Structure 1
Amino acid sequence: MGISSIARHLALAGLLIAGTAFATVAEAQSGKTITGGFDVGPGGLPKNFNPLVSTAGFTWLSTYFEPLVIWNAELTELKGSLAKDWKVSDDQLTYTFNLAKETWHDGKPFTSKDVKFTFDLARNKASGSLFAARLGDIQSVETPDDRTVVIKLSKPNGSFLAVITQVLILPEHALAGIAPDQLANSKWWSTTPVGTGPFKFKQYVTDQYVELSADDDYRGGKPKVDTLINRYFENPAAAVAALRAGEIQFTYVEPDDAATFKNDSNYTLIEGGSYVVNYIGLNQKVDLFKDLKVRQAILYAIDRNAIVESLYGGAAKVANCGYVTPHLVPEGLEPYAYDPEKAKALLAEAGWGKINGDKPITLLTYYGSPQAANVMAAIQSMLAQVGVNIVPRVVDTPTYNGIVYKQGTPDWNAFPMIYAGLQNGPNPAGLNPGLNKSQLPPAGFNTMRIEFDDLSAAFDAALGQTDSAKVNASWQDVCKAMNKDLPWATLWVANRYGVASKKLKDFVWTPAPAGGPYAAHPELWDIQ
């Protein structure tokens, strides 16, 4: 299937999405101000203030909260943030962190008690934390003194340090009085949050913007600008319009928009791998997708190469497991090349007519961009050709999370299929929360309730691998299990783009999974 065929699919679906108008917001600030659409893009949204329940937006959250350790901007190694340094015991069960000297934005001292409080809260399912299962190997958090934290694990976990880069440390003195089960919906996050980062919270104007002011006493030095503003937009097109109008100095952009900035001397185009695999999740709590032949048929029915070339402009790599990094992908994987006739045959063998027939199936997603709409329209048309009738449903991220992470017994029919993304790097262990049977919600990200024994065993083996010479082979085994069992219909890993005004100086943005965190050093950002 070629590009012209994609266009026909989109025409059949009646969807080629255009941008909509945007609203402006007055920015009458004294001193230097940088304004950006820092949360525009997949997962970016207003109300994304609580880092314990956030699945994205860490680019912004980490300007006023901080983790113990953080990725460098190149996503190649970990460095200290609130931890000056750390050491790991020979048996890889004990992590000792030496803490930096810092104060909270309200003047209270930051101590090891805040770290213990945060990790205890992050491990508590009642708080709504999405880290509960990911931190399940923690046996104890000890605080021998104000500047030292000792975390002991019950078993080695090769992803532990990578996981805690997203555990942003919270103030015990400000939150201890709020019951954990009341914390997720507390107004504290959007009214009076207190962090340790280079900027401190000033105000949130509902659905419009968040304003931060410089923390003059930040340990990394006084920020070079006085105010940092994160504006919210209805869609990426509105953000691009604001960028071109000079109202903001940075935003995420879609590939089509990125091309228009490439040779514009007024802007810097930033491009890089997203480290996020896009996939169609197939809910194992419904009968529709329990047969492997049905899952295989769905992949054979989708011309992934044509979508990548047409709708991503070639700026994506087809994925036959959860990642595309060459040293993690073994030879001999089934490529699931586009073959609609094979898809029809597999569906017939599985008895699709009796299982579902042409009844509509909801494809739930939080991706609301024009590009995503066109991708889903193409997939919808391709699947219709083999007898699978899907109906995309786009919701905002809080609504999506409320549906798929619902405690108790969710309405499985509300999300039999999802179109989503999950980080696959820079540490491939980022996929574990979405696929291991030990990571079922509400504790983990396994929203499709996948409980495949071979796959979970492969993840457990890779996470527990302590021999650096064998780590890559262990993750290749995970890839093989994904490719064979198809817990998801894996699609591609796309590039991600940001555009920054040339007025910005020393500005750092990395297309990181979930937005980071990574060492962007916003205290050094400046503007002409």
Structure 2
Amino acid sequence: MNRTTPLILAPILALFSASCADGEDLGPMRVDMIGEATAFTRPIAALPSPSDALLLEATAQGLVRLDGEGQIEPALAQRWIVLDEGQTYVFRLNEITWDDGTAVTARQIAQQLRNASRSGSRNRLARLLADIDAVQAVTPQIVEINLSRPRLDFLQLLAAPDLAIFVEGRGLGPYTLTGEPTDEDETVYLAPRREPPEEIDGDTAEAPPISPEETVQIRFGPAPAAVARFDAGHTDIVLGGNWTTIFYADAIDPNSSQLRIDPVDGLFGLAIVEQTEFLSEPQNREILSLALDRGQLAGYFGGNRAEARLEIVPPDVEGLNDPVGPPWASSTMDLRRAFARDAIAEWRTINGEIEPIRVALPEGAGSRVIFAVLRTNWAVVGIPAVQVAWDADADLRLVDRVAATESATWYLQQFRCSRGLPCSDAYTQKLSEIEEAPSARVRAIRIAEAATELQRITPFIPLLRPIRWSLVSQRIAHFSVNRFGRHPLDTLAPPS
């Protein structure tokens, strides 16, 4: 290494002190994914972790997918048309076959999409798919989807890893698994998927050979080890970085071409998971929010990569014409804290001391930074706080979630009353009114009303825009940051 080794990584870097081989590495693309490899056989019915999502995008896909820049491109569907002003989508399938040589059919895809959108589905996008009126196989190669209303983000929904098509545990992605992780070695090996060889005059054509540089090696593990491997030149790219681990990346002092920050949006803040005593009243939950100096918090994560967030529904999402923020957004921190101190003093006079607010945060260097800011900011106005383990009983629990689409309704659906967070009958009613809106103009008005009610009941304290980072070596020539933080492996691989 050409710099003083930061203490945070020194023990791990020692494990990778062997020098790299001379010359360009023409072997597999080496990927380190922060996290654990998990088995997946029913992705359409479960919530994929970031690790799951990476493998799903590699080994399975839906009708459409996201490219390396976060734009929609064909997948199982060869092409599509949109009819009825956005209420009907017709997809024509590619001529693609399963490994046993049988054709992929529209009926198989339609059945899985119906399962994902049905009432009671465990798919995390089920509520957002509620606008689907019907999915039918018009012919063996044509899928038609009818919506109850136009959805500008519908193709983004279909491109989510959650809607990858699996039949009997098999998917049709750009890669196939050639080696799976074990208890001793959490490494996955992938090779490009080839269509089954054709038979010509009774003879099966020989499949073209796969060169080593077309294959991918994915190592799953903790962030410190992944960063150390990158610094030692033993991996080509590190994926899966977030706010808990970005300080490990900082420790090796990467340049701007190596450390890449995705401009993702979504939810990053504290969900109110307990509603007793002090937290039972919306105005008290709002006090917790207004007392926080988000600029201070953003500064700890780097001002150019962490953006303070006051609104639960961001101002630039589809369907929200005007920002809906808290009424105190334009007030200075001094005024906000003075108000909070007076309100807390009045609460104590009537109700007695406030029990320490229990904040559940996952393990990681980022959690220590966040809790330090929470504790000191709340202490200034007289609110005690204590950090608890991620799986312990808590009053507040951190949420870090990238939005699946650019629509305001994605944010609103995260706080429907069935989630168990603070809610109101008025909010439920407003969500229903959005679905029944007769026009885009009326729908925008109702979205704003729902966002306003959401701010009022305060089930969530927004902190920052979510943080997603990667470490990228010179070998990865086709990496692009994007709004969804998605990086399909076949878009990263060097051309063969």
TM-score of Structure 1 vs Structure 2, range by shorter chain: 0.7 to 0.9
8 Å Cα contact 1:116-1:141 kept in structure 2: yes
Within the candidate set 426, 436, 446, 2:416 is matched to 436
**How does 1:166-315 map onto structure 2 within 5 Å?**
166=160, 167-172=162-167, 174=168, 193-202=169-178, 203-206=180-183, 208-217=186-195, 225-234=213-222, 236-252=223-239, 253=241, 254-256=245-247, 264=255, 268-283=258-273, 286=276, 288-315=278-305
Partner of residue 341, structure 2: 344
Q: What is the SS of the residue equivalent to 1:429? A: helix
Question: Which is greater in Rg?
Answer: 2
Cα distance, 1:389 vs structure 2 = 3.6
Q: In 2 relative to 1, CA 330–243 (structure 1 residues): closer, same or farther, beyond 3 Å?
A: same
**Distance verdict in 2 for CA 1:263–1:55, change over 3 Å:** closer
Distance apart, 1:377 and its partner CA: 2.9
How much has 1:64 moved relative to structure 2?
1.1
Q: Which among 78, 83, 100 is matched to residue 72 of structure 2?
A: 78
Q: CA, structure 1 residues 320+459, in 2 after alignment: closer, same or farther (shift >3 Å)?
A: farther
1:119 aligned onto 2:113: yes
Shift in Å, 1:46: 3.1
SS of match in other structure, 1:296 = helix
**Structure 1 CA distance, aligned partners of 2:465 and 2:164?**
30
**Partner secondary structure for residue 340 of structure 2:** helix
The answer to whether the 8 A contact 1:223-1:522 is kept is: no
The residue aligned with 2:407 is: 427
Q: Please show how residues 57-72 of structure 1 align to structure 2 within 5 Å.
A: 57=51, 58-72=53-67
How many residues are treated as equivalent by the alignment? Answer: 454
Unpaired segments of 5 or more residues in structure 2?
1-6, 17-24, 198-207
Distance 2:253 2:465 in 1: 21
* Residues 499 and 477 of structure 1: CA distance in aligned 2, closer, same or farther (over 3 Å): farther
**Whole-Å separation in 2 of the counterparts to 1:132 and 1:256:** 35
Displacement of 1:316: 1.8
> Which position in structure 2 is the counterpart of 1:47?
38
In 1: Cα distance, 2:306 partner to 2:386 partner: 25
Distance 1:346 1:86, change over 3 A: farther
Pick the aligned partner of 1:490 from 442, 453, 462: 462
| Greater displacement, 138-147 / 329-338 | 329-338
- For residue 135 of structure 2, the aligned residue among 115, 118, 141 is 141
* Of 158-167 and 463-472, the range deviating more from structure 2: 463-472
In 2, Cα distance between equivalents of 1:19 and 1:393: 26
After TM superposition, the score normalised by the length of structure 2 is: 0.76
Q: Shift of residue 487 of structure 1?
A: 2.4
1:368 to 363, 372, 375: 363
Task: Tell me the distance in 2 between the aligned counterparts of 1:259 and 1:527.
Answer: 30
Aligned partners of 1:302 and 1:155: how far apart in 2?
40
Amino acid in the other structure paired with 2:72: L
* Match of residue 510 from structure 1: 481
User: What aligned pairs does 1:337-486 form with structure 2 within 5 A after superposition?
Assistant: 338=333, 339-350=336-347, 354=351, 357-365=353-361, 367-395=362-390, 414-424=393-403, 425-437=405-417, 440=418, 446=419, 448-459=420-431, 476-486=448-458
- Per the TM alignment, residue 512 of structure 1 is displaced from its structure 2 partner at its CA by 4.5
Q: Deviations over 1:184-240 (max 9, x none)?
A: xxxxxxxxx521111112312237232222213399x98983432222222x22221
Report if the CA contact (8 A) 2:313-2:412 is conserved: no
Relative distance call for 1:453 and 1:308 in structure 2 (3 A) is same
Whole-Å Cα distance in 1 between the matches of residues 286 and 349 of structure 2?
13
Percent identity, please: 18
> Letter of the aligned partner of 1:496 in structure 2?
R
1:422-441 deviations in Å (ceiling 9; x for gaps) = 3345333331331133xx3x
CA shift digits 1:414-458 (9 cap, x unpaired): 343111123345333331331133xx3xxxxx3x43433444455
